[in-house]
Amino acid sequence: MSSLYKDDVELYDIAFTWDIDDEVAWLVERFGPSCKTVLEPGSGTGRMLEALALRGLAPCGIDTSSEMVAFSRARLSEAGVHAGVMLADMTDFQLGMRFDAAVCPINTLSLLTERELASHLVLMAAHLVPGARYLVQVGLFDSDELPPPNDWEAERDGTKLRIEWALVGRDLAARRERHRSRIEVLAGPRQGDVLDEVHEMTSWASSTWREGIAVSPFTQVAAYDGGDRARPKVELEHGGGLMWHELVAA
């Protein structure tokens, strides 16, 4: 597990927390009016759990990082909302209940191998009521051409960061890609620190993604371009780095 997800959780949260109210409103619309409970595998520092709870839903998150789980619980307590947060592996968990919907944003599922994703989807279907929506954000790329890096700054309570996230290598044949994150602390107690890490992930093309879903207990009913704030519906064969996929549990 990357130190970014374990030893530097507070910096991670500053770097990757932004306004998601509009996105959450869109997700809740996709879940449907009868949705009351939502499962988020790989829930990280709890920003999605907090946003869902503030909308009156009962979310539950699981994560393999005990530091992330502890941070999430503190975050939710400070916000005055409740959500279940448990230490669990998204490829091997049993929660003893079913949920009305589920969500997994920002390429979290790309941290799984193809075999792990297959196991994950079987477990997710078992934890969702029939017909429930599972909204997952997974980038699809049909060429080895690399997009330009993303860079931004973030600040909280006197700590200021400069962040860069870059896709530095992709091998479509091997279905693997390598990402590099760099977080530089510009101000605050850790000023001058630099966190530089490489993240190995699965590379999904539009065809391999459709093949993986076809043998799972889910059916994909829609795809949306998450790079556009309006999140327009696109063809299932469409590619892009911020694709949202709407899956329905059998």
Residues 128 and 171 in one domain: no
Closest CA to 99 of 12, 31, 43, 38: 38
Mean pLDDT across 215-228:
96
Q: pTM, whole model, 2 decimals?
A: 0.95
Mean pLDDT across 216-229:
95
Distance CA 41, CA 229 (A): 24
Residues 136 and 158 in one domain: no
Residues 95 and 217 in one domain: yes
Portion of the chain with pLDDT greater than 90, in percent = 88
Q: Is the pLDDT of residue 240 over 90?
A: no
Residues 168 and 78 in one domain: no
Mean pLDDT across 143-152:
90
The DSSP letter of residue 64 is S
Supply the range of the domain harboring residue 182.
150-202
Residues 37 and 122 in one domain: yes
pLDDT tens digits, one per residue of 92-122: 999 999 999 999 999 999 999 999 999 999 9
| Pairwise pLDDT comparison (42 vs 5), residue with the higher score | 42
**Averaged pLDDT of the chain:** 95
Identify the band that residue 73 occupies on the pLDDT scale cut at 50, 70 and 90.
very high
Mean pLDDT across 86-94:
97
pLDDT tens digits, one per residue of 175-211: 999 999 999 999 999 999 999 999 999 999 999 999 9
Mean pLDDT across 142-167:
94
Residues 19 and 102 in one domain: yes
Residues 87 and 189 in one domain: no
Whether 145 is in a domain gets the answer no
Whether 78 is in a domain gets the answer yes
Angle, vertex CA 220, rays to CA 223 and CA 101, nearest 5? 95
184 to 2, 163, 190: CA distances (angstroms) = 16, 6, 9
Whether 236 is in a domain gets the answer yes
Q: Is the pLDDT of residue 1 over 70?
A: no
148 Cβ contact list (under 8 Å, min separation 6): none
Domain count, the chain: 2
CATH of the domain at 69: 3.40.50.150
